[in-house]
Amino acid sequence: MRSIPLRQALREAMEEEMRRDPRVFLMGEEVAQYNGAYKVSQGMLDEFGAKRVIDTPITELGFAAIGVGAAMNNTRPIIEFMTWNFAELAIDQVVNHAAKVLSMSGGQFTCPIVFRGPNGSAGQLGAQHSQAFENWYANVPGLKVISTINPYDAKGLLKAAIRDEDPVVFMEAESSYGELGDVPEEEYIIEIGKADVKRAGTDVTVVSYNKMMKVAMGAAEELAKEGISAEVIDLRTIRPLDWQTIAESVKKTNRLVIVEEQWPFGSISSEITYRIQKEVFDYLDAPIRRITSADANMHYAPNLVAQYLPDVPRTVKLIKEVMYLKK
């Protein structure tokens, strides 16, 4: 087992799939000559050449459309967006074409394409570069949505996404490309649609994904010092969502807290809350609670960035409230 950064885990997934299948190619801004804006594609141009690692103009709508057309014609494109904030320019292609072509063609066309890149906040980048979009894309039938920063999970899930017959939206995090994690040398694939219990516990279930997993795990570690046992679940896949793993955990702990980097209205936590109270209400000993990003645009000032995002102290406080402990 090796400890490698997230960017390397993602690169290895793409390289292995490109060696395995000549139909796979990578396309996006600065992915070739510059080795990727975040060096995820470093060295790939040298190995695979300019026909399979393709630099594009700054035109997200244009190269997303080329990718969709290519996917409909027996190739498997990986489209890198420099950030999902910029990908909103290409949302027509992702939502109105990639997601719908299978049903609109009566099954005559598939669209095996992966749209990937960093998502969410990364410090002082302001309102237009700090948005998390998992809930937007998870609302669209025909798309699969993956969101993770764990190197092991990222590699296995990206390989699965490249092989999938459906379009996949793959959310990463700019601030986490250098973070290390254990990844085996041998090939492996992680099934899309399966959550992972990162920490077993008995007193409360904490559900999260992407970089908010660091907040969830940090809160669990702080609570453990006080004898509180939190079970932490990493969703990994947002659509399809692994309801069963969440439900079974809630049946055991009888409490649920959700930590996410989304605006609160119409968020993923909203959907989880509805589904769990509908299906396992009798097991709940307290109302489901959640901590989200502020219902506002992200500002530039560091004190406002800190107020905007969920953090460990506020998560610990919320979990104690769910357990009816003194604040």
Which residue in the list 12, 129, 231, 271 is annotated as catalytic? Answer: 129
List pLDDT tens digits, range 24-67: 999 999 999 999 999 999 999 999 999 999 999 999 999 999 99
Which residue in the list 29, 60, 172, 260 is annotated as catalytic? Answer: 60
Contact 246, 207 (CB under 8 A): yes
97 is catalytic: no
Rounded distance, CA 207 to CA 269, Å?
A: 9
Nearest by Cα to 261 from 118, 155, 163: 118
Rounded distance, CA 321 to CA 316, Å?
A: 9
List pLDDT tens digits, range 81-101: 999 999 999 999 999 999 999
Q: How confident is the model at residue 326 (pLDDT cuts 50, 70, 90)?
A: low
Maximum distance among all Cα pairs of the chain, rounded to whole angstroms: 62
Stated pTM of the model: 0.96
129 is catalytic: yes
Q: How confident is the model at residue 70 (pLDDT cuts 50, 70, 90)?
A: very high
